[in-house]
Amino acid sequence: MPVTERDYESLVENQWCPGCGNFGILTAVKKALIELQLSPDRVIIASGIGQGPKLPHYLHVNTFNGLHGREVPSAEAIKLTADDMTVIVDAGDGGAYAEGGNHFTHAIRRNIDMTLLVHDNFCYGLTKGQPSPTTEHGAVTKITPDGVAADPLNPLALAISQGCSFVAQGMSARTGHLVDILKKAILHKGFSFVNIYQPCVTWDRVHTYQYYKERCYELRPEYDPRNQMKALELVLTPSDKHPLGVIYENDRTTYESQVLAHIPHPLRDQPVDPKLAVSLYKEFV
């Protein structure tokens, strides 16, 4: 039977603010999974805490909710034990780049075959709009009345500089374009990272839909995402314009293809002998 929108329908009541950019991301994720004909029982979405990470609640799909900022290592464990599943991580810019910043960088190193989607709204939307790692220098918030003193993190530059095997950027309001990006990210063999601009209509009066409409542009077909130096130049050159599309990709060997090469997998199907656990326990008591 073909996979349809009905297969992904959730009965959970949506709690996002009216007009939230998260709705566009939810629509794009659902359409991408349907167009790839991925059955919900073959997909796992790991998420943490925040407005963005509520996304898997609004899909009929396997879900793992963990601690704030710990979505990525949870997903890595899931993928290593169930490498026949499509594993997606859904996080906000706070969870992914602040609490989970260390996990983000090491996920790039390992290159496990999974996809990280980051809702980048330049604030902690769930907890009343505090500045996040991507909040611009000088931004005035309730806890920074004199403006944010730290410079913002450039997650695209970080990922590209460390050789992340797939780096892309999308915008929640450009649903069709975002669907194409997500499909490429999910099909890519390796760690795929997609930063998604998402207006916060409640706490952010700067990064509005109009703001992105005037500043975002889609990369032309002739752009070569295989050129790492050009990709770095693109995201590091000061500009008030924001590129959308696949910015960088390569064909690095995945982590699991190396560490699981000699082990029958998926690991979840391997028999477990409780006596081995007892003997191991005795070594530490």
In CATH, what number is assigned to the domain containing residue 98? 3.40.50.970
Strands (E), the chain: 43-47, 62-65, 86-92, 114-120, 123-124, 130-131, 166-171, 191-197, 216-218, 242-249
* Contacts for 39 with CB less than 8 Å, ≥ 6 apart: 3, 7
List the structure tokens of 112: 């496990």
Q: How far apart are CA 280 and CA 285, in angstroms?
A: 10
The confidence score (pLDDT) of residue 205 equals 87
Residue 163 C-beta-side C-alpha neighbours within 13 Å: 8
Question: How many angstroms separate the Cα of 58 from the Cα of each of 66, 214, 230, 249?
Answer: 17, 30, 38, 30
Phi, psi (rounded to 5 degrees) for 240: -95, 10
How would you list the strands of the sheet with 191-197, edge to edge?
A: 62-65, 43-47, 86-92, 114-120, 191-197, 166-171, 242-249, 216-218
Amino acid at 146: D
Give how many domains the chain has, as a whole number.
1
For the chain, give the number of residues: 285
Q: How far apart are CA 134 and CA 129, in angstroms?
A: 12
Which range of residues forms the domain containing residue 233? 5-282
Low-confidence ranges of the chain (pLDDT < 50): none
Q: How far apart are CA 61 and CA 3, in angstroms?
A: 13
The confidence score (pLDDT) of residue 281 equals 83
The confidence score (pLDDT) of residue 158 equals 98
The confidence score (pLDDT) of residue 223 equals 98
Q: How far apart are CA 112 and CA 134, in angstroms?
A: 25
